[in-house]
Chain A
Amino acid sequence: MSASRHRLGRLIGNAVLLAAVATTLAPLLWMLVTSLRPKQDVFDGALPSALTFDNFSAVLHSVDIGRQLLNSVIFAGGVTLGQLAIGIPAAYAFSQSRGRWSRWAFAVLLLTMSVPFVVVYLPNYILLSEVGLLDSHAGMILPQVASAYGIFLLRQHFQAFPRAIVEAARIDGASEWMVLWRVVVPASRSAISALAIFVFISTWNEYVWPQLVAGAPGMQTLSVGVAAFASEEAGTQWGSIMAAATIACLPTVAAFLALRRQIFNVLLEGAVKG
């Protein structure tokens, strides 16, 4: 009895999971189908009468996708490099020092992690406008470099690094800076690159911040550009809006499918290893 009951449970369990997957992916499939439909039959039932790339060429004609891609790469790349450049030394310092002062600093850092970034948008917007960095790449990037997540994650890694090796390098006369870049960092390459992938993708996907401080047409990132395109089209040309949405999804979905193991690892360490 238990074998057949088990098989039934397995069947039902997987059916529920498949239903969840189907429901989750349905809106994206709908986006894809709509983007490939001829303009006139956007609302004609589930199955398209024909497939066409007209919507895509319409988007490519009216939007400077190349410029937006470049802005996205600069934004995401700048934030990623900045977070690593700042985060690696900071994480190492936190992992080595045991003092009261640094424990406090770290606790404050952890607390800032749970403050939604939106809360500091207003004062940061004021700050950027005061120093004249609105609608500039530096203005978009700098405030986003101050993220505790990477420091937190790398500190965990550096703490797990065998102290004996660090001590040995010091005895051999290596400066802290050399220990970090020649010994600790090369040994943590996989953790660092996983973090970089994660930061890059999540910065690439940001919308509110780049839209707020760099909304000028020449400065728009891909996410901002798609939303701007959609509101210009004012909810009429759904075929081309969905084509623009598809274009905006492609890079990150492709990157995710290729790099999902690293992404899952970095998320799990950040969330679960606490």
Chain B
Amino acid sequence: MAPALLLFGAFVLWPIARTGWLSLHDWNLVSPDREFVGLDNYSELLGDPDFHRLLGRTLMYVAIGLVGGFLLPVGLAMLTLRHAGRATGVYQTLLFVPTVITTAVGALVWQFMYLPSGGPVNELLDTVGISPVNWLKDPSTALPAVGVVGAWQNLGFSYMIALAGLSAVSPTLLEAAELDGASGWQLLRHVVLPLLMPTLLFLATTAVLHALPNVFVAIEILTSGGPAGSSSNLLYDVYSNGLRFFRVGEASAEAVVLMALIGGAAVWQMRLIERGVTYER
């Protein structure tokens, strides 16, 4: 166990502690003088309207993550369990393909898809009479456009997990709920949903926790957070503030805020797991 703890100490725990320490400083990564500023970085962040906007965008990404990483895969998984039969494996394999290609390539392909003139997305919209959109350069479309790329690359993953989680509930029960005409809705509400609830909660919290990491590379390659920060989020800003603009103190303070939020979500999820979300396979 010792070498594992050593490595974790050096490359995970020490960096986290160091992030906390750096967040109390003003530093540009190269200059020899590093000024201790106490909690200034935090109070600046909290009072900064740009930071509030950043939090809003972070929430937007979480919402997209919930649709693409929870609602959509759960819906597809339910359809699969009810109707796909022996084709299940084929759907599972094909939907998973984008997940196994490198995120950088996924983003490049979508850069092409989104090209303002001649890009397949705009060409397709043109056939139904919608005029071309400059998806990645327009502040109002950049965030959802990037969010779609992240959701696209991770749909296969959440679909597979949803499929496994939901198949633990007996399909005859779903059928019973549907066949029982008048009281079908009530059966669904009072029998099926409570049974599925632990699985659904688990999938939803996973979708929330994965929402920001899942769009990271797409943001980096497609927009770098722009235009004018409109497609950034808290996780991406930690990276770009620290490693592109070398505002180490501010980036570290953001990282601490982010870790507090994630830690809360993760502890909540672990509680859910402890409450007995386990499946037989």
| A residues lining the B interface (CB < 8 Å) | 2, 9-10, 12-14, 16-17, 20-21, 24-28, 30-31, 34, 42-43, 85-87, 89-90, 93-94, 102, 105, 108-127, 142-143, 145-146, 148, 151, 201, 204-208, 212, 222-224, 226-227, 230, 235, 238, 241-242, 245, 248-249, 252-253, 255-257, 260, 263-264, 267-268, 271-274
Contact = CB atoms under 8 A, between A and B. Distances in A.
Nearest to B93: A260
Given A34-B112, A105-B5, A253-B100, 10 more contacts: A30-B113, A116-B212, A116-B258, A119-B255, A126-B18, A127-B11, A145-B7, A205-B100, A207-B220, A263-B100
A255 B99 CA distance: 13
Given A28-B109, A146-B12, A122 B251 contact: yes
B270 A224 contact: no
Interface in B99-124: 100-105, 108-113, 115, 117-118, 120
Given A28-B97, A271-B161, A120 B112 contact: no
Contacts of A145: 7, 11
B97 A253 contact: yes
Nearest to A122: B242
Contact of A94 (B1, B259, B281): B1
B266 A118 contact: no
B152 interface: yes
A118 B213 contact: yes
A119 B19 contact: yes
Interface in B128-180: 152, 155-157, 160-161, 164-165, 179
Determine which residue in A20, A87, A142, A143 has the highest number of CB atoms from chain B within 10 A of its CB, and name it.
A20
Interface string B22-37: 1000000100000000
Contacts of A117: 213
B278 interface: yes
B95 A21 contact: yes
Interface string B245-281: 0001001100100110011011101100100011101
Contact of B217 (A119, A208, A264): A208
Given A28-B98, A116-B262, A124 B11 contact: yes
B182 interface: no
Contacts of B117: 43
B95 A20 contact: yes
A142 B4 CA distance: 11
Given A256-B96, A264-B160, A274-B277, A224 B104 contact: yes
A159 to B, nearest CB: 13
Interface residues of chain B: helix, strand, loop or mixed (majority): helix
List the 3 closest A-B pairs by CB distance, nearest first.
A13-B83, A123-B15, A90-B4
A21 B94 contact: yes
A253 B19 CA distance: 37
A212 to B, nearest CB: 7
Contact of B112 (A109, A114, A242): A242
